Amino acid sequence: MKIIGVNLDIIWKNKNGNFQRIEDELMKQEADVFILPEMFSTGFCMDAAEVSDRQEESLAFLKKMAEEKNAAFCGSAPVEQNGNFYNRMYFVKPGSEVAFYDKRHLFSFSGEDKVYTSGKERIIVEYKGIRFLLQVCYDLRFPVFARNNDDYDAILYVANWPEKRVGAWEHLLKARAIENLSFVFGLNRIGTDGNDLFYQESSHCFFADGREMAHKDGNIVSAELNMDELKEFRSHFQFLNDRDDFTIKL
């Protein structure tokens, strides 16, 4: 399976401008799954009442792209539902089949927890024979929530992770891959946001042994996920059989 992520320089609070940038970047690209950053249509913005999708604009864009590319699309967007705001990660398959995950761990350091509502479910989506765990940015710092109970094959992280903490981002992505015997694809934005935070190119894809799998060309980062290779690795190194059994209270 081929996965492509877009290292997007997100235009602050400009949905149509960001939609156009994504279309331009992907015009000549083909893949099974395309990944966009956290809050790809607005930037990581705490002005939820101003920027949140009330007419599902970001979701409509993902559906359109999924049909045009005959591929799955995922990324997160600020969404209002029943009077609450969510940092919602969508996984849209061709045919407009939609799954979504609401970010569980809200970034209190920036006040995200004061504006958005925490998600209550852990979401796994299967597509073309691979089971994907959906995660958003700050979730990466909480390994228990991503613990593999032998129920997924890959973790998809979408993020707005600033350059000043990028070392943690890279090390934790690799750790999640190794400890869960899984593929891990971490897609980060680039550029400078409306709060003057800078984001360097730092997207990665790691194999279960910690090996880097990503190929980078401009703003495109790609990787091939081979399930036969993963199954063989898991069969040889059966570390998940020794994991602790526990329950997370959501």
Grouping H, G, I as helix, E, B as strand and the rest as coil, residue 218 is coil
The residues with which 190 forms a beta bridge, in sequence order, are 9
Of 38, 69, 112, 174, which residue is the catalytic one? 38
Of 112, 137, 174, 205, which residue is the catalytic one? 137
Active site residue 137: yes
Report d(CA 159, CA 196) in Å as an integer.
Answer: 16
Active site residue 103: yes
Active site residue 38: yes
Of 63, 69, 93, 103, which residue is the catalytic one? 103
Read off the tokens for 132.
């994907």
How many residues are given for the chain?
A: 250
Catalytic residue ranges: 38, 103, 137
